[in-house]
Homo-oligomer: A and B are copies of this chain.
Amino acid sequence: MSIHAQLPEEVQVYEVGPRDGLQNEKQNIPTEAKVRFIDLLSAAGLPVIEVTSFVRPGSIPQLADSEEVVKRIKTTAGIRYTALVPNERGLARVTGLFESKSGDGALPLQGIAVFTAASETFSRKNTNASIAETFERFEPVISSARSAGLWVRGYVSTAFGCPYEGDVPARAVTEVASRLLELGVEEVAVSDTIGVATPAQVEEIIGAVADVTGIERIALHFHDTRGTALANVLAGLLLGVTTFDSSAGGLGGCPYAPGAAGNLATEDLVYMLHGLGIRTGINLEKVVEASKYLSVIRGQAPASRYFQAAIS
């Protein structure tokens, strides 16, 4: 086999820092800083940016300023801006934004994401709903979003392991993924929420899911909690996956392992992709600038290995 011969020519990096990263941030980050962070990510050429989450403001106070953030970011043509939307109330807030923006014609968001799990216990603890109930909740969300012309992604969390149940069978992941596609979701983000995956497991789970969904519908979302994220990305690339999630600087500690690394860092991902000769359209040094900006606001060095090497 040849690694080189099996690699795609181009990969889409899906930036989750402003949402998945910041939702775990303890200290309050001012709206202005979030807007600037997102604008710097746009300037770095990230093709998709998940900018916030329209959850109930009380549940994640850090993201209670979703409307403000979306209204104030400088959107760039060609970049897809998305937001997590847990329910119909959340979607109403998104469509409300569209109405207020209707004057200039440019929609501030082009897509939404819904969130469920492959593990029943995680779903109940995280969203206070069974997996079946999460589907009931976002069935109308997906259909209304599609009617409004929005692109829709579905997260399948704990697809490689659950902090409560341990191993998660490939069948559970496949069922949730195919159900999401039936409801009209365009992309399924198979997620290693607690950062336990290793490459052979990626092959096993993603192979099984792709048999049902097709590989082109799958995005991979890794956390680098145990350092395996880039090895898992390599396994995904060899399987034909071409969309990978990451967060600038590696923002987003794991709530189940305080102090541990969070999402795979965008810098580390892009460094490897470019080293593999894969096009991303991203300016790596500008991602470092975005991370640097936020690290000053947070008063904390980013977890990204590449970042640490680049600034030292």
Contact = CB atoms under 8 A, between A and B. Distances in A.
Interface of A: 1-4, 6-7, 195-201, 203-204, 224-231, 233-235, 238, 254, 257-261, 265, 268, 271-272, 275-277, 304-306, 308-309, 312
Contacts of A198: 271-272, 275-276
A228 B271 contact: yes
Contacts of A226: 268, 271-272, 305-306, 309
A256 B261 CA distance: 24
Given A260-B308, A261-B309, 20 more contacts: A1-B1, A1-B6, A1-B238, A3-B199, A3-B235, A4-B203, A195-B309, A197-B275, A198-B271, A198-B272, A199-B276, A200-B275, A200-B276, A226-B309, A227-B230, A227-B271, A231-B231, A231-B234, A231-B272, A259-B308
B234 A199 contact: yes
A165 B231 CA distance: 27
For the complex of A and B, list the 8 residue pairs with the smallest distance between their C-beta atoms, beginning with the closest: A198-B275, A227-B305, A227-B268, A260-B309, A230-B231, A259-B312, A1-B1, A257-B309
A308 B261 contact: yes
20 contacts: A1-B6, A2-B203, A7-B200, A195-B309, A197-B275, A198-B275, A200-B277, A201-B275, A226-B272, A227-B272, A227-B306, A228-B230, A228-B268, A228-B271, A230-B230, A231-B231, A260-B305, A260-B312, A261-B305, A261-B309
A79 B46 CA distance: 49
A234 B237 CA distance: 13
Nearest to A203: B3
Contacts of A271: 198, 226-228
Contacts of A196: 275
A213 B195 CA distance: 37
B238 A3 contact: yes
A259 B304 CA distance: 12
Nearest to A301: B259
A158 to B, nearest CB: 16
A168 to B, nearest CB: 14
Nearest to A264: B227
Nearest to A198: B275
A156 B271 CA distance: 24
Contacts of A260: 305, 308-309, 312
Contacts of A228: 230, 268, 271-272, 275
Q: Which of A200, A254, A265 has the most chain B CB atoms closer than 10 A to its own CB?
A: A200
A4 B198 CA distance: 11
Nearest to A224: B305
Contact of A4 (B3, B204, B230): B204
B257 A225 contact: no
Contacts of A7: 200
A207 B4 CA distance: 12
A226 to B, nearest CB: 5
A197 to B, nearest CB: 8
